Amino acid sequence: MKPGKILLVTLVVLILAWLMIPVVIIVPMSFSGARFLAFPPPSWSTRWYEAYLANPGWMQATRVSLTLAVSSAVVATVMGTAAAYALNMSTSKWVRNLQVILMLPLVVPIVITAVGVFLVYANVGLLATMTGLILANVMLGLPYVVTSVLVGLRKFDPVQEMVSRSLGMNRLRTFFVVVLPQIRASVISGLLFAFISALDETVVALFISGGQYQTLTKRMFTALRDEIDPTIAAISTLLTAVSFLMVILVSLSARAETKKSAEA
């Protein structure tokens, strides 16, 4: 193996190890039998998972987060897929420039976005509401969906759509019958990334969620100010596991699309 390749492999391994450090520490602490966070755990127990599942407050926050993640992911996927299709089909430079606007949530610092959303919601009465949470997370999830679907559309042969329309199908039916089945993996990938984004979002939630619509991440943050116990580690482990599962599903979806394209 060449020295350059050895250096590259070593660098990648070190970066991956650095990224894995929080997981390596948090997961064992979630099974600690101690009253406070300690690493390594002095004893082992599942009491903190039981404490999380038995706490009505945590369960309410979990239901809010799951409802928010599913709802915003679905809405963002529908809107993002439509936007990506329009961007891909249009030849106007003005329409194509809209992609920059759709990518802004990834460019603007999240704190600035959160402050802006808070000020708008304070004036229209959407603070501490599920509608407000969903709208904010749809905005944050759109870039992931648009990017993912655009990749799929640019691999799709537009001649197939033209043939379908020449045979009498309108544009909408052609999209659902011809286009969507072939970009399905990209749409699913965008959906899953939007779900993860909404489930893990903390900064915006700190500004606009509250009352009965307090998200799990905000409740975790506020709980850290009052008392740090391994329940936080248990919840963090579960969130990490869900996110990891979503990433695996995205990878499998992309692999299936690649295999299907190769067979075609």
Tens-place pLDDT, residues 25-67: 888 888 887 777 777 778 888 888 888 888 898 899 999 999 9
Q: What is the pLDDT, as a whole number, of residue 195?
A: 92
Q: How far apart are CA 115 and CA 207, in angstroms?
A: 7
CA 79 – CA 113 distance, rounded (Å): 20
pLDDT for 132: 92
Closest-CA residue to 127 (of 207, 63, 212): 207
**pLDDT confidence of residue 263:** 58
For residue 12, what pLDDT is reported?
Answer: 87
Please, what sign has the CA dihedral across residues 160, 164, 166, 171?
A: negative
How far apart are alpha carbons 107 and 89 in whole angstroms? 25
SS3 assignment, position 86 = helix
Q: What pLDDT score was predicted for residue 185?
A: 84
Q: Would you state the pLDDT for residue 137?
A: 94
pLDDT in the model for residue 259:
67
209 by DSSP, 3-state: which? Answer: coil
Contacts of 254 (CB under 8 A, 6+ apart): 185, 189
Please list the ranges in the chain whose pLDDT falls under 70: 1, 226-227, 253-254, 256-264
What local confidence, expressed as pLDDT, does residue 1 receive?
A: 64
3-state class (DSSP) for residue 202: coil
The pTM for the full model equals 0.84
